[in-house]
Every structure is written in C-alpha cells, then in structure tokens.
Amino acid sequence: MDSEALEGEHGEHGTQGDDFLEGGEDEGNQSKSLGTAKRLVPARILPFCGDVAAGAPLIPETRALPVEVPNSIHRERDDLFVLRVRGDSMISDAILDGDLVVLQRKAEVRNGERVVALIDGEEATLKEYRKDKQGVWLIPHNPELKPTCYEPSRINLQGVLVGVMRSC
C-alpha cells in the first residue's frame, strides 16, 4: 500500500497510535481520550524468585532476578514478586507450565483467591485457597487432580495471584 492510500485510510498523520505518540491533540488543541504518553505508567522491574509448582509442591529458590512486568498487571501495587509455574494443576484457570505469575504479599487472603502456599516451610505450590472448620484446602484447577486439606499451622501463604505472563 502506498503513502497516499495510507493517508486516505488513516488521515494525514497515519494511525491513531501515531497521534497518541505525538501527544494526542486534535485541531482544537484538546487531548483525545487516549491521553498522552506522559501519563503512562511504565513497566516495573520485579524480583523473580524461582519456580512454583502447579502440581506436586516444589522446594522454593531463594534467589531474586529482575523481571519486567507491564503496568496492566502491576497497577502500581506494592510487595509484588514473580514465580515461574511448573506443572499443570491450574490449567482450568489458563495457568500453564512455564507461565510467569505475579503475586502480591498480603496479610489477609479470601476464600477463592489463587495463592502460593508454602507447605511445612519447605514446598511451594500455586492453588485456590479455601479455609473452613476442617482446615486449609489447596484446590487444583485440573479435573484430574483432587483438593488437599491441611492443618492451618502447616500452611504459610506467600502471596496472592494478581497476574499471569506468558511467552509465545
């Protein structure tokens, strides 16, 4: 497609994205609804802390490497960290082996939230959290796997899921 065809199809300045990058102003000098690049919150660098099981629990790693996380996930939350998923226990939630999960450390966790739980201080796993009078349930989201109930003293919650990143 030649430049005249592009101008006719997208206007004098090309695409809407070009207008956005150039400041997003129309002839009346009013900002368009997309805003300006100056208002964007950039990606943040968060610590990558190793692997987490979505299946049989894994022993967590203690190293922290930097990982860039887009604003659409971090939304300027505090106390975030990243783990890589190993296993298939959360496939019904579209969390796959190799995905990176972004978690937030929180004092309180609600039933139904996806969490990383440390079991007996040794094994980390990603599951749905449920607490009732029987104990703490860690529930996989894979029809081939069954939930497991633990004494609350055996579970140390590490973080609540706030986002998933996948490489293609």
Question: Which residue among 3, 32, 89, 153 is the active-site one?
Answer: 89
Question: Which residue among 72, 127, 131, 167 is the active-site one?
Answer: 127
Question: Which residues, 6 or more positions from 151, have their beta carbon under 8 angstroms from its beta carbon?
Answer: 135, 136
Identity (one letter) of the amino acid at 74?
H
Residue 128 to residue 116: CA distance in whole angstroms: 9
Instruction: Give the closest residue to 57 by CA, choosing from 165, 158, 162, 135.
Output: 158
Catalytic (active site) residue 3: no
Secondary structure of residue 17 in the 3-state scheme: helix
Catalytic (active site) residue 89: yes
Residue 22 to residue 16: CA distance in whole angstroms: 10
Q: What residues are annotated to the active site? A: 89, 127
